[in-house]
Amino acid sequence: MKDYWLSKLISSVEKVDSRKRLQKSIYLLQRADCPLKCDYLLHYYGPYSFELADLIDQLKGAEIIKESADLTGYGNRRYISQIAGKGIHVLGEFEKSKTGKDLYAQIERFIPLFQELNKEDLWILELGATIAYYYEGNWQDAQAQTAGFKKIRKNDRNLLKATNLAKEFVPAN
């Protein structure tokens, strides 16, 4: 029921300002044991999930969410996701059922976390997700690997902020 959980998270905020934000936020939530469990791999901007990208497409195709394109300052397009009218209705109906209530109970505690991530600076979020990806028991190693991967200084202040963000989601080994 990943489709329900993702719709529920998106419905909990006014909008998600880019697919990149959605990708990185869901990655961090998963590290905190969120039940979505999409497969991720590492690419230039940190952890990326084809499965999540497909899930977003499915929700869009079924008109549960709507996406609009926006031009960034650099001339790039980014896609803003929002819950659609049909999505609000369908979620409401589903949550009246026993299955809906059970699934809601599993995602409930992640909703405020997602809302916080939705307000986070996108660069910090991207760095935080990458640090979390590299973390295997040693935060300094993860920071160093991220600095190397993202070509930034190891003592970059943002790296420290991002590490603190990652620590909120990744259980210490």
Partner 1 sequence: MAQKLFRDPLYDYIPIDKDSWLLELINCPEVQRLRYISQLGLANFTYPGSTHSRFSHSLGVLHLMQLCLSYLKHTYSKNHFKLLNEEALLAAALLHDIGHAPFSHATEGIFGNHEERTVEIILNPDSEVHRVLSKRAKSLPLKVASLIAKRLPMGAKQPPLWQKSLISSQLDMDRLDYLRRDSLCSGAEYGNFDWFRIIHTMQLKEKVIEGKQKGVFVVWLDKSKYALEEYIFSRFYMYQSVYFHHTTRGFEGLLKQILQCAQDIAKNNNSFTKALLSPMKILLGGKEGKDLTKFQKLTDHVLIAQVTIWQDIKNKTLSDLSTRLLCRKGIGWEPITKKVGFEIADKTTRVREYLKEKELDNNYYFFEDKTRAEAYKPYRRAAEPKDQSPVNSIMLFDPKWTKAGETGFREITQVPGLGRLSAITEVDDTSSILRYYFPKEHEREIKKLLS
Q: What residues line the site for partner 1 (CB under 8 A)? A: 1, 3-4, 7, 18-20, 23, 39-45, 48, 50-51, 53-55, 57-64, 74-79, 90, 93-94, 97, 99-100, 103, 133, 136, 149-152
- Could you tell me the smallest distance in angstroms from the CB atom of residue 164 to partner 1? 22
Q: Please tell me what DSSP assigns to residue 76.
A: -
CB-wise, 4 or 114, nearer to partner 1? Answer: 4
Neighbouring C-beta atoms of residue 57, cutoff 10 Å: 12
CB-wise, 32 or 90, nearer to partner 1? Answer: 90
Backbone angles phi, psi at 82, to 5 degrees: -145, 155
CB-wise, 8 or 29, nearer to partner 1? Answer: 8
Amino acid at 54: D
CB-wise, 39 or 171, nearer to partner 1? Answer: 39
The Cα–Cα gap between 115 and 126 comes to 16
Q: Please tell me what DSSP assigns to residue 172.
A: P
Residue 24: closest CA among 110, 103, 98, 132: 132
- Could you tell me the smallest distance in angstroms from the CB atom of residue 10 to partner 1? 13
